[in-house]
Chains A and B, each alone.
Chain A
Amino acid sequence: MKDPNGTSQLPLPSPFSGKAEVIKLPLRDRPSLALKNKVGKAHSKKPTSLWYAVYFPQLAELSESQQDEQLNVLAAPLENISDTVSFHPQALICEIRSSLKYFGGIEAIHNKLKGPLAEQLKQLALPEYFLYAACPTVTGSLLLARSGHNGLIYQQDNLRSALGKLSTDVLNLNKEQNRRLYNMGIRHLRDIWRLPTSDLYKRFGSDFINLLNRALNLAPEPTRNYVPPPAFSTTYDLPYEIDSLDRLLPVADEMLEQLSEFLQRRDLCTSHLLFSLKHEKRSSTVINMSLRQPSRSSEHLLMLLGTHFSNLTIPAPVIAAKIKVKKFDAFMTHSESLLSEDKSAKKQYSDNNLNQFMEQLKAKLGGHFINSIKTIAEHCPEYATQQMTYEKMEKIGKPYRVGQELKKIPISPRPLFLLEKPEQLVLRNGKLYHRKSIEIISGPERIETYWWSDADIRRDYYVALEQNGSRLWIYRERSGKKNWYLHGYFA
């Protein structure tokens, strides 16, 4: 590929892909064509769209963000029957006129939806019921669904009478407006229609009038369509069984190239993907690749995969390979610096490089072998340092931005190497021995802490020099047997 970082974006194939030709209509035919249409219209009305609303009253108790999330999940089954699905408070509405014939009537559509929706609701741990209605306007169908009538109105002519029967509760007005309507003696929508519009406008505002107009198809109803979340999964069936993973790399390369193109088209990148190898009569081997930084470069992914392969032993020959993306991220390209000596941009680039290196390290060694270290404000020497494994670092996010600990470091000398478990020293004839005899150079530094717990620490630390030239950090317990211990090396 020419573009290793995958920074360029490919255009999405437009619905009118291919040739965009200007079709010239013969001019003199046009008036007659329009005339013909007019004549035709008079006889048979052009079918208006039919909106099918699904209303979930049980969602009303949840927070708004939760509602959005759950509606997103519930919208997936609706995708199967219509290409225009829109979101409304606690409801989903889709256009079904165009697919009525295909599915064989509204009953068939409803039956087709019932199962999957119930299943989704079950997965979300919500009560398994929903209200539905269909009519020629979006708002109308929403109102009908809210009323719980499960009604169906095919013709626009019947819309007014059907909606008129509904109680004013379906309008979801606020308390004050409801009270006013009630005091005016209005119980049903048809009562509202009897009132003059201009006065209603004065008393209830434009939103209220708009809502009613939209329900009757007197005002346009713009809707925002649901866009399903991106999903990528591709499988490659190998023509013959492959024993060695090296020979699988070209196949993986091909698949990752596909993925990279998919991501570039949508301006996305991925930070978590699964690469599974299928075997005959065995469960498949799954390689879990989570990235430190989202990427879409097929070269980088291939290199990581290669590293994973080198660690992997497969139980049986591979018959198929599959890539599935678990997590998509928005693509963020690094900005080029205006001036060549702009440090931050350079650093970002090097961070980028480092992340790739660390991902590779993790792929080879496993996350728990790579550590970053940091200081902790703590008196007890062994607790003043902390090793953080790679996995932990990832969870915290930005681990290596600590900063303030500089203030908390002790003034007295600390060794670069600390023994994980202090080693007891031998005291013979008043002289200390490790490998050779030890002479104390400076000290003591008294450290007493944790007296409030069982692990009472009371020590006197000394800097010492061994006969062979080793610089040691030793301590003597101030309680119990008063033993001497070696705790570190001034390496």
Chain B
Amino acid sequence: MKPYSESSAKAPEPLFNKAYSHADVGNQDNLADSPSIEELLNHNANLWRGCDMAGQGIHGRSTGYPQLDSILPGRGWPQKGLIEIISPQWGMGELQLLIPLMRSVIEQGHWILWISPPHLLYAPALVQVGISTDQVLVVNLETSCKDALWSMEKALQTNNCGLVLAWQTWLPGKVLRRLQLAAETGKTLGVLFKNRDSKYSQSKMRLQVKGFSPQTGSFNKAEVTIIKARGNFQPLTTQLELYRHHSQHTA
């Protein structure tokens, strides 16, 4: 039938309506023309599929690490929202993961706010990887937890902060939910760094970074596990080569 095939070739939306309204749907002559199920599913914008890994669109921001991109839903960091990065000790490369993102944030003219980092943020290292310190703002470690969370919420709400990094221990679900909402309104990405994972955490995405011991791997290598991510069914793990961006920049 003419109207049916036309619509299927064009766009998914009218097809959906037709499927119920048109009496000729079940007509046998039609089957040869009809697209495959996979095609229908992929082209229907109204349909959400539980597994983003099915390749339903690339809506994330590239992490700069192809291996990491391939296991993240949306093929990259989410545009907004809250991420938890868990590293048992500092120095696992947890910040290295974000370096390409930070660079793109700075290039867009946005600011990066660091809220109570555990140690002194070392400016020469930032400049080395190509992040201008002009747009970096640090809130001291001595700030009380309440004030730190307040500034995190405010920063997530403003449009100027492209990235908010915060070091916090366990946060109650209510607080996380609030930060999540703030991030959605400001269209900002917030990253929480933690030492310990808790499976009850309500963040949208949880990642774990691990370095290798001298015996099992090289200095540059790190293992990233996506413990939880909206759109992924199960934890996925990949191994990354860190510090590549380092050499790229200096060269």
Contacts and interface: CB of A to CB of B under 8 A. Distances in A.
A405 B125 CA distance: 12
A360 B88 CA distance: 34
Nearest to B250: A411
A404 to B, nearest CB: 11
A154 B126 CA distance: 78
Contacts of A463: 219
Interface stretch (B17-25, B27-35, B113-121, B169-177): B113-121
Interface in A386-415: 386-387, 400-402, 405-406, 409-411, 413-415
A442 B158 CA distance: 43
Interface string A431-468: 00001000101100000000000000000000101111
A182 interface: no
Given A372-B136, A439-B214, A471 B127 contact: no
A469 B89 contact: yes
Given A405-B127, A416-B121, A467 B90 contact: no
A181 to B, nearest CB: 64
Nearest to A378: B124
Given A361-B151, A435-B89, A370 B137 contact: yes
Contacts of B16: none
A414 B124 contact: yes
B90 A470 contact: yes
B211 interface: yes
A489 B135 CA distance: 22
B122 A415 contact: yes
A408 B61 CA distance: 32
A371 B126 CA distance: 15
A353 B158 contact: yes
Contacts of B161: 357
A347 B109 contact: yes
Given A400-B134, A469-B211, A409 B147 contact: no
Nearest to A488: B122
A469 to B, nearest CB: 3
A384 interface: yes
Nearest to B89: A470
Interface in B190-249: 210-214, 219, 222, 246
Interface in B116-163: 117-128, 133-140, 142-143, 147, 150-151, 154-155, 158-161
A344 to B, nearest CB: 10
B96 A375 contact: no
Nearest to B140: A369
Given A420-B120, A468-B89, A489-B119, A406 B127 contact: yes
A472 B219 contact: no
A413 B214 CA distance: 19
Interface in A316-359: 343, 346-347, 350, 353-354, 357-358
B133 A491 contact: no
B189 interface: no
B14 interface: no
Contacts of B95: 416, 491
Contacts of A386: 123
Contacts of A400: 133-135
Interface centre among B127, B139, B213 (most CB of A within 10 A): B127
B93 interface: yes
Interface in A43-65: none
A98 B201 CA distance: 81
B120 A418 contact: yes
A350 B108 CA distance: 11
A129 interface: no
Interface centre among B90, B139, B222 (most CB of A within 10 A): B90
B120 A385 contact: yes
A465 B219 contact: yes
Contacts of A361: 139, 151, 154-155
Nearest to B157: A357
B41 to A, nearest CB: 38
A373 interface: yes
A409 B124 contact: yes
Given A371-B137, A373-B133, A470-B89, A417 B127 contact: no
B122 A418 contact: yes
Contact of A365 (B121, B147, B219): B147
B125 A414 contact: yes
Contacts of B134: 400-402
Closest 6 CB pairs of A and B: A469-B211, A489-B91, A470-B91, A417-B119, A400-B134, A439-B214
Interface of B: 88-96, 109-111, 117-128, 133-140, 142-143, 147, 150-151, 154-155, 158-161, 210-214, 219, 222, 246, 250
Interface of A: 343, 346-347, 350, 353-354, 357-358, 360-361, 364-365, 368-375, 381, 384-387, 400-402, 405-406, 409-411, 413-420, 435, 439, 441-442, 463, 465-472, 488-491
Given A350-B160, A369-B147, A372-B138, 20 more contacts: A343-B109, A346-B109, A353-B159, A365-B151, A372-B133, A373-B136, A374-B123, A402-B134, A410-B128, A413-B128, A414-B128, A415-B125, A416-B122, A420-B120, A465-B211, A466-B89, A469-B91, A469-B210, A470-B89, A471-B93
15 contacts: A353-B160, A361-B155, A365-B139, A372-B136, A372-B137, A385-B123, A413-B128, A415-B122, A417-B91, A419-B120, A465-B212, A467-B214, A469-B91, A470-B90, A470-B211
